Structure formats: C-alpha cells, structure tokens
Amino acid sequence: MKRLEGKVAIVTGSTSGMGRATAVLFAREGAKVVVTGRNEERAKAVVDQIKEEGNEAIYVIVDTSKVEDVKRLVDVTLDTYGTVDILFNNAGALSMSPLQDVSLDEWNNIFNVNVTSALYLTQLVAPIMKEKGKGVIINTSSVAGFGAHHGFAAYVSSKHAMNGLTKSMAWELGPEIRVNGIAPGLIHTAMVDSIGGPSAVQKMIDECPLKRVGKPEDIASVALFLASDESSFIDGQIIKVDGGFEI
Ligand SMILES: NC(=O)c1ccc[n+]([C@@H]2O[C@H](COP(=O)([O-])OP(=O)(O)OC[C@H]3O[C@@H](n4cnc5c(N)ncnc54)[C@H](OP(=O)(O)O)[C@@H]3O)[C@@H](O)[C@H]2O)c1
C-alpha cells in the first residue's frame, strides 16, 4: 500500500526545487497532486514527469500573493478531484535588502508570498478537511525562521512569522488537522543559484556537521513523512532539515 494512496495534495511552489521534488514523490506514493506556481512551462514539465511515471497530477497557474488566484486554485482542485487532504504551503521568495533599504512594497510582497498566502489557502481548505475529519498541512519555514542574518530582514521576519502561524494553525485546527513546518537549511535549488550557487555560501556548508548542501529530495522525504500517518502524533512542530546547521 502506498503511503498517500487516494489522497489529494496541493503543493504550492512546485514548479521548481523542493516543491517539485515533493510533488513527484507524493504522486509516486499514490496522491493526486495539484502543481502550482507562476511559470507555465515549468509547471507543465512537472506534470508531464508525474504522468510519464504513471501517476496523477494537474497544474494550476497561481501567483500566491493574489487572493483571487489562491481561491481559483482551490476551486480548480475541487472541480477536478473533489476534495483536499494535504496542503503543502511551500511557495517562497527571497529578499536580500539590508534593513534600511527594505521598501514597503518589498516587505509586503515577501510577506504575501511567504506567509499570507499560507493563511488564505488554509482558511479555504481547513473547512473541507474538518468536515472530512482528517487533513494535513505542512508549511515551509527556514533556518532563517530561527536566527537572523545580515541583509535578510524581510525574509527572516517572514519565516519567523511562518513559525508562529504554523503553531497557531496547529492549536486552532486540531484535532482533525495536523499542522507542522519544515525549516530547510541550505538546499541546492534555483533560489540558492540566484545568489551564486552553493559555493557562494561555502561558509554555511563548512559550519554544518554534515558538510554538504541539501538536495530537494532531502526535504521531499520529510514532507512525505509529515503528510503520512507515520507522523500521526506529531503536531505543531517545525522540523529543521539543515544538516545540523542550527544545532
Ligand atoms: N533553497 C534553500 O536553501 C531554502 C532554505 C530555506 C527555506 N527555503 C524555502 O523553501 C521554499 C521553496 O524554495 P526553493 O528553494 O525550492 O526555491 P525555488 O526552486 O526557487 O522554488 C520556489 C517556488 O516558489 C514559487 N513561487 C515563488 N514566488 C511565487 C509566487 N508569487 N506565486 C506562486 N509561486 C511562487 C516558484 O514558482 P514560479 O517561479 O513558477 O512562480 C517555485 O516553484 C521557499 O519557501 C523558500 O523560502 C529554501
């Protein structure tokens, strides 16, 4: 028996990186997956890969910072698959402005993409999960949700907020819905390439006991564990998957 057999999973930010790896893994484990992001070419490539492997997925083009897009995502999911069992709030954007240079627009955009979209989407799917008596929500935080680093004020603040939102969701959505977070360390994705790739942050690699950059699959396997019944007594936790960076 596959671990997510018959489940319907929305994975935001699954056109790339760890969301993509998770969408592919969830589908291999029997879930019908809704792939989302803004880039249609990449979204289609993920769905094509899932279908070539004999599994089931659709894509919905969504800007998670827009409430109307998020609502359409849920509508299309319900029209296509009739329900939602798993929500992975994973879409995220990076901001690298020093504190004094962060504009209100930048601040609002980072919070909309990284935190507020998770709130909207959860408000839409939680009643469906509650009525079914079961559901799982996973939020992507970061090691930046625990510490601060020079030049990342908006990003760091948004990920600290994501931790608070995750714990609040767990309190208010139980007992039917379990909510947990994943706090990745350095994972080799397009986001890390946008700042020069792993070699640009070699110090972070050197400072972690496992001495390597993570792979998107390192996150996908933890997301699968949290989405499955194997983690049925874990709730309200933010699990660091960082090679020991934040010990
Ligand atoms: N990589 C790391 O080292 C690291 C560490 C800690 C936490 N994280 C977090 O991990 C999550 C995934 O990031 P990643 O590393 O896998 O990066 P990535 O490969 O750049 O993926 C980011 C995903 O988010 C989507 N996205 C970004 N802005 C969006 C928007 N406005 N609307 C809809 N989708 C949007 C992108 O889709 P489109 O481009 O198609 O819109 C893409 O699918 C993020 O929350 C990030 O903050 C990453």
The CB of 37 under 6 Å from ligand 1? The reply is: yes
Nearest CA to ligand 1 atom 37: 37
CATH H-level superfamily of 8-241: NAD(P)-binding Rossmann-like Domain (3.40.50.720)
Residue 147 neighbours by CB under 8 Å, 6+ apart: 156, 246
pTM: 0.98
Band (189; pLDDT cuts 50, 70, 90): very high
Q: Residue 137 phi/psi, 5° resolution?
A: -125, 135
- pLDDT-derived band of residue 201, with 50, 70 and 90 as boundaries? confident
Burial string for 204-237 (b: 16+ CB within 10 Å, else e) reads bbeebeeeebbebebbbebbbbbbbeebeeebbb
pLDDT classification of 211: cutoffs 50, 70, 90: very high
CA distance 209 to 204: 10
pLDDT in tens, 19-31: 999 999 999 999 9
Angle between helices 153-173 and 117-132 in degrees, nearest 10: 20
Average pLDDT, the chain: 97
Residue 57: which H helix or E strand, with range?
strand 57-61
Q: Which atom of ligand 1 approaches the CA of 214 most closely?
A: 3
91 CA to centre of ligand 1 in angstroms: 5
207, pLDDT greater than 90: no
The structural domains of the chain, with segments of one domain joined by +, span 8-241
Whole-angstrom distance, CA of residue 221 vs CA of residue 25: 8
Q: In the predicted model, what is the mean pLDDT of residues 75-92? A: 98
pLDDT of 149 > 90? The answer is no
Q: Is 90 in the pocket of ligand 1 (CB under 6 A)?
A: yes
Q: What is the DSSP letter of 214?
A: B
Q: Would the pLDDT of 204 be above 90? A: no
CB 142 within 8 A of CB 159: yes
Cα gap 12→8, rounded to integer Å: 13
243 Cβ closer than 6 Å to some ligand 1 atom: no
Dist. CA 133 → ligand 1 center (Å): 30
The protein residue with its alpha carbon nearest to ligand 1, atom 47, reads: 92
What average pLDDT does the segment 179-192 reach?
97
For 206, the token pair is 């050197």
Give the range among 42-46, 202-206, 209-213, 233-237 with minimum mean pLDDT: 202-206
If you measure from the C-alpha of residue 13 to the centroid of ligand 1, how many angstroms do you get, rounded to a whole number?
5
Residue nearest to atom 32 of ligand 1 (CA): 63
- 70: nearest Cα among 24, 113, 31: 113
Q: Is 145 in the pocket of ligand 1 (CB under 6 A)?
A: no
User: Ligand 1 center to residue 227 CA distance, Å?
Assistant: 19
Question: Among this protein's residues, is 81 annotated catalytic?
Answer: no
Ligand 1 pocket, mutate which of 18, 36, 89 (most atoms under 8 A from CB): 18
φ/ψ of 31, rounded to 5, equals: -80, 150
Give the mean pLDDT of 225-247.
Answer: 96
Best residue among 10, 11, 16 to mutate for probing ligand 1, ranked by most atoms within 8 Å of CB? 16
Q: What percent of the chain has pLDDT over 90?
A: 95
Nearest ligand 1 atom to the CA of 19 is 16
Residue in 136, 161, 123 with CA at minimum distance from that of residue 231: 136
